[in-house]
Structure 1
Amino acid sequence: MIKWLGAVVGFFLRGLSGAVLGFFAGSIIDGFFGNNKSNARSVFQDYTRANVSPADFELNLLSLCSIVIKADGQVSQSEMDYVRQYFVSTYGKDKANAIFRSFNEINKKGEISAQRVCTFLAQRTRYEVRLQLLHFLFGIAQADGTISNPEIQKIREIAGYLRVPLNEFDSIKAMFVKSANNSYKILDVPKSATDAEVKKAYREMAKKYHPDRVNTQDEAIKKGAEEKFKQVQTAYETIQKERGLN
């Protein structure tokens, strides 16, 4: 199996730490590219159902990064750099380089099952964290200066697998893809909403996306929560000025 081959190769290249990393990377590849459903299950059966281990979260996050980067049929260097910068700032250069080598191996392979990755994460992460994952993926797509329709559709597909409803997806999308009535889309209310409905939507959004609600040690997810919270505030302030609200 690939995971044991990865462990052997990793041991000769990097010693014990390389063996561990090789085993994890091989496990993910085994699960994602194997045709046997029981094989995919064996990759995850030892993990705690209630939580996801840091190493496993990293590899699943890398897989989602790979899916989005390749969504439009080309691999953008600026998008790759965006991912690299995130891991360097979060884990430090040495660990990030080791993680990124695993990412490169995953990225070279065939199609990764977004459904398998997202199903695993949906069962082991809080809803607020999954919202910030979508925010992070949109950040990757935007790194080359434009977000293509294939990238939007792929992130929308991922949102469905992560059990995030369409209105929540559209709210996050509006933070990156500007259009008419953008502030209303961010607050998830129609432009025809009453002042009271707008205020209520803002309070609900501010509560839902407050950084304190995101219970994670992942710095990029925390940063995404802060950025999203600021955009909710900005959207409400824009509507306040348009309507003369206090």
Structure 2
Amino acid sequence: MKRKKTILGGCLLMTVSLIAFTPERKTPAPGDIEGAWEIEGNPKRVALLVDGYFTVTTYKENAPEFISTMGGTFSYDGSAMSGALEFNSEAADQVGANFSIPAKLDGDKLTVTYEDGSSENWTRVDKAEDNLSGVWRITERESEGEMHDIPLRARRTLKILTGTRFQWAAINVETGEFSGTGGGTYTFENGKYTENIEFFSRDNSRVGMSLSFEGDLQNDNWHHKGKSSKGDPIYEVWSRFE
């Protein structure tokens, strides 16, 4: 018998079946459901949907505070979103659970209906149409003057970008371990990539910082050079994650 459980990660209410599986990565049509969505308020909720991957994050902007995040794979058939969780900052045991939740798209509004009959209206922030839009995985990092490969393992760091928003997440898709996340808005112009941090799970004092990097997009590899939020020099290569 399938065991049902309700996920309430401070982000999004979903009914899931706790049967682990690996769903086919289906990409919704550009201009459809893909992009950044939000529910304004304090706390604020932001959802990123791109290339068959989603994140939903809750955080406070005034007196900055990270609250929770979750994410994973998804597909959308016009009436419901379904997929599997790959991380949940509040409930590691829910990683691997699959879900299906009614969702209706009407222009720049997305209505999500929960199992108790209540619903929420999300407002579109952007569409995932920028060159950097997609899901990226860090695949190389410079250390002591040499580049070192970072092979794909269960423990991974992903960065999800839509047209104007970004979020990175360090996760383990097998154990459910959540190591950290950060996100906000970004720009990428004339070889300069700038992040404006709106939430940072490890240190709320980082909120409000702007970090600029040299950015060079070479096919499906994004070369990223500058200084971290701690001021340490970094040179990384991120590759599109399929």
Q: TM-score, normalised by structure 2?
A: 0.27
Q: Looking at secondary structure, tell me which structure has more helix per residue.
A: 1
Structure possessing the higher radius of gyration over alpha carbons: 1
